[in-house]
Amino acid sequence: MMRQYELVERVKRYNPSTNEALLNRAYVYAMRAHGTQKRASGDPFFAHPLEVAAILTDLHLDDATIVAAVLHDTVEDTAATLDEIREIFGAEIGALVDGLTKLKRLDLVSKRAVQGENFRKLLLAVAEDVRVLLVKLADRTHNMRTLHFMRDDKRARIAEETLDIYAPLAGRMGIQEMRDELEDLAFRTLKPEVYATIARRLEDLSAKSSNVIESIEHDLTARLKARGLEAEVKGRLKRPYSIWSKMERKSVAFEQLSDIVGFRVIVGTVAECYAALGVVHTSWPMVPGRYKDYVSTPKQNDYRSIHTTVIGPKRQRVELQIRTAEMDEIAEYGIAAHALYKEASGSGEVHPRLATESGAFQWLRRTIELLAEGDSPEEFLEHTKLELFQDQVFCFTPKGRLIALPRGATPIDFAYAVHTDVGNSAVGAKINGHLTPLLHELANGDEVEIACSDGASPPAAWESLVVTGKARAAIRRATRAAVRRQYAGLGRQILDRAFERAGKSFSEDKLRGALPRLARASTEDVFAAVGRGEMFSGDVVKAVYPDFKDERRSGGTGGPAASGSAGRLSRSGDQTMRLTFSADGTAQGAGQSAIPIRGLAGDLPVSFAPNGGAVPGDRIVGILTPGVGVTIYPIQSAALAAFDNEPERWLDVRWDVDGSQERFPAKIALESINEPGTLAQIAQVIAEHDGNIDNVSMKRRTQDFTDIAIDLSVPDLKHLTAIVADLRGKRTVSRVERVNG
């Protein structure tokens, strides 16, 4: 375990003016607070906060952050209180410990929704002071180093979370060394055999290539010196996780990787970076497409370096990174090494406030802005992980504004990066002056011009085609708004007819006065609720005209039909039902009033929509076809879009089948594993839930999977939902969903 003087010495190496008394006081306080507590390894618990503090000294952090690291577990795990810490160590350290205590209470290893919500809280906690995040990352690093002492199931969950969130978050903060270590530690836990194999291959390669690496270092150093450039050249092998990721991404074997060895060239100034690049490219041929200049266009985490790959000595491909010493420090330590952390006096003391000009912190701020967009926790986690994992391309607006996007981004992503309204109204794009499809993948340096239309709205399909979280969130919101407008339009038409049948006048002003009785905030909410089937039109009429009596609901047969519900749907054949109309054109069913349809008389055939049908429990709509009859669709049916411009054909109908023994048509689509007995298992589930199979079609998609479409009949939606739920639980069924025509 680290001694008291050792911690002080580590800090004094980079900050000679450190407050030794403060560090000593924190050491003694934490040691006494933790007392005889032990970790899973059997080591004293106090060793953990000391190791976390040691990791932060490598990042050259200020005294307050080091002290907060030493104290970060005291409030949660000992009798120490936050008030006591504030009193002894001051408000600044107290605030840091408070933020870390709140984070410690977040169990991120949990279900996706909870994980997403906790990740929101994590980012919000570090929004004001990123030092909280730096301590959290150091805490996770030491926990990963000692992960082998945990239970197997807990190890896997923590390692997966580290790979999903903490490692890429460290990368976004620019702390590459920490990211590499977290990735390797998680990789070794999740895929121990693969890790061991790659590590063994790297050891063999290192033994064989040591002379080659030294030779290239000496050769390159001599060439640079001959041109008057003093440079430090360092060669090293890539890490196991980095190699495995590239093998997976490019589907290549270890032997096919040609850039396992990388070299770093450290020079004095930015001008010398480009001079060194000239020496490299005039000495050896460059590999096309492998040059990237992050000096003139830094990454969002402040990373700056020139990357190039050449065919070096002995025809070996050599990957080079050329940078200054300052760039190298930022590349390794990220936001913790940012120049604006330092006092203007040049004393070397770390400033207690975050440098808000840092690109890494600006990214963090932009990510936190997503919290206000109203997405669900799962969506927020998905969007943020998209941002965490992607490398970048740099594009420009016609006016020269630089837009940084994830690799694989399209003009749609570009449009939303400019402004949400630009994305929502985008209809076309020009890239470098040429008309280009909106799904074209952008490249570094592209100039992108977006064509917009005021009446346009983003198709829902765009959501699966974009790669940025901001674009996905905006498209989802626009899609939801469009669906809500459709429901509201349908609800308005239903209410117009309902008030007309009731013989009452209808206006939005009158409806607005009834909002408190309907428990809705706006008339638009009422329209949407009626359209979705959450509220009956007759209830709205009653709310606007409290003295109105709905004759049909009270059991009477005379008078006009005032409710928006339909009459009974009665069976008159295998797949067809009929509504019977009286002489005055009012549909009759089982002695009850129904929707009045003027100008019709006699029996009107009523049938279900093809390809899926509808079952009791579905919100349904009737579409009138003169001379043919009424077709019943579930409200979620995509086929209803064909009738959007024909509101006069829409009928407000509903089920009235209480106690009926009838069955109704439905359709489900499955993807099953090709195993003996799979179809029998599926049929058994349907039978157990009182369903009947009418037709089955099967198509073998691959050797291992078969697509199955089943037409069945069930009593109601409850039975159908139970069938789908049970099928999803079967090991031999990889996917199942209901099909709506």
So what's the pLDDT on residue 70?
92
458-517: pLDDT as tens digits: 888 888 888 887 888 888 888 888 888 888 888 888 888 888 888 888 888 888 888 888
User: 625: which strand partners?
Assistant: 629
At 353, list the tokens: 């406030």
Q: In whole angstroms, what is the distance from residue 55 CA to residue 692 CA?
A: 64
At 367, list the tokens: 């990510």
Please give the residue that has the higher pLDDT: either 439 or 317.
Answer: 439
So what's the pLDDT on residue 342?
38
**Residue 372 pLDDT exceeds 60:** no
Calculate mean pLDDT across residues 449-457.
86
**Residue 450 pLDDT exceeds 70:** yes
Q: Which helix (H) or strand (E) holds 438?
A: none
Name the pLDDT band for 274 (thresholds 50, 70, 90): very high
Catalytic residue among 20, 43, 58, 77: 77
Residue 214 is among the residues annotated as catalytic for this protein = no
Calculate mean pLDDT across residues 710-721.
88
**Residue 702 pLDDT exceeds 60:** yes
Q: In whole angstroms, what is the distance from residue 136 CA to residue 52 CA?
A: 9
547-601: pLDDT as tens digits: 777 554 444 333 333 333 333 443 333 333 434 333 333 333 333 333 333 333 3
Calculate mean pLDDT across residues 689-706.
84
285-301: pLDDT as tens digits: 988 878 888 898 887 77
Taking alpha carbons only, the member of 282, 297, 316, 118 closest to residue 212 is: 316
Burial (CB < 10 A; 0-12, 13-18, 19+), residue 19, is middle
So what's the pLDDT on residue 353?
38
Name the pLDDT band for 411 (thresholds 50, 70, 90): very high
Q: Please identify, in words, the CATH class of the domain defined by 664-738.
A: alpha beta
So what's the pLDDT on residue 366?
58
**Residue 121 pLDDT exceeds 60:** no
Catalytic residue among 76, 219, 656, 671: 76
Stretch(es) of the chain classified as CATH 3.30.70.260? 664-738
Fold topology of 194-341? Beta Polymerase; domain 2 (3.30.460)
Report the share of the chain in percent with pLDDT over 70. 79
Stretch(es) of the chain classified as CATH 1.10.3210.10? 4-190
- The C-alpha angle with vertex 172 and arms to 170 and 175, in degrees rounded to 5, equals 45
So what's the pLDDT on residue 656?
66
Task: Give the range among 213-227, 434-448, 589-603, 674-688 with minimum mean pLDDT.
Answer: 589-603
- Please state whether beta strands 392-396 and 602-608 pair in parallel, antiparallel, or not at all (unpaired): unpaired
**Residue 133 pLDDT exceeds 90:** no
CATH number of the structural domain 4-190: 1.10.3210.10
603-617: pLDDT as tens digits: 557 778 877 778 888
37-76: pLDDT as tens digits: 888 888 888 889 999 999 999 888 889 999 999 998 888 8
Within 10 Å of residue 167's Cβ, how many Cβ atoms?
Answer: 28
Radius of gyration of the chain (CA): 34
**Residue 178 pLDDT exceeds 80:** yes
Taking alpha carbons only, the member of 107, 99, 40, 38 closest to residue 64 is: 99
**Residue 537 pLDDT exceeds 70:** yes
So what's the pLDDT on residue 322?
94
For residues 178 and 135, the answer to whether their CB atoms sit within 8 Å is no
So what's the pLDDT on residue 581?
36
**Residue 271 pLDDT exceeds 90:** yes
Task: Give the range among 61-65, 384-388, 524-528, 673-677 with minimum mean pLDDT.
Answer: 384-388
Q: What is the pTM of this model?
A: 0.52
Residue 449 is among the residues annotated as catalytic for this protein = no
**Residue 349 pLDDT exceeds 80:** no
| Orientation of helix 112-126 relative to helix 131-145, angle to 10° | 130
Calculate mean pLDDT across residues 716-722.
88
Please give the residue that has the higher pLDDT: either 662 or 258.
Answer: 662
Taking alpha carbons only, the member of 574, 561, 548 closest to residue 653 is: 561
For residues 24 and 50, the answer to whether their CB atoms sit within 8 Å is no
**Residue 270 pLDDT exceeds 90:** yes
Q: Which helix (H) or strand (E) holds 705?
A: strand 705-714
Name the pLDDT band for 344 (thresholds 50, 70, 90): very low
Name the pLDDT band for 276 (thresholds 50, 70, 90): very high
DSSP 8-state symbol, 313: G
**Residue 127 pLDDT exceeds 60:** no
Q: In whole angstroms, what is the distance from residue 643 CA to residue 489 CA?
A: 12
**Residue 80 pLDDT exceeds 90:** no
Q: In whole angstroms, what is the distance from residue 453 CA to residue 444 CA?
A: 27
Q: In whole angstroms, what is the distance from residue 439 CA to residue 411 CA?
A: 7
Q: In whole angstroms, what is the distance from residue 14 CA to residue 66 CA?
A: 13
212-249: pLDDT as tens digits: 788 888 889 999 999 999 999 988 888 888 888 888 87
Calculate mean pLDDT across residues 93-103.
79
Q: In whole angstroms, what is the distance from residue 534 CA to residue 519 CA?
A: 12
So what's the pLDDT on residue 359?
57
Measured between its terminal Cα atoms, the distance across the chain in Å is 68
Name the pLDDT band for 364 (thresholds 50, 70, 90): low
Name the pLDDT band for 323 (thresholds 50, 70, 90): very high
Taking alpha carbons only, the member of 333, 18, 1, 93 closest to residue 9 is: 18
660 Cβ contact partners less than 8 Å away, ≥ 6 residues apart: 616, 715
The per-residue pLDDT of the chain, averaged, comes to 77
Task: Give the range among 5-14, 65-74, 338-347, 527-536 with minimum mean pLDDT.
Answer: 338-347
At 177, list the tokens: 């060394």
Q: In whole angstroms, what is the distance from residue 577 CA to residue 499 CA?
A: 27
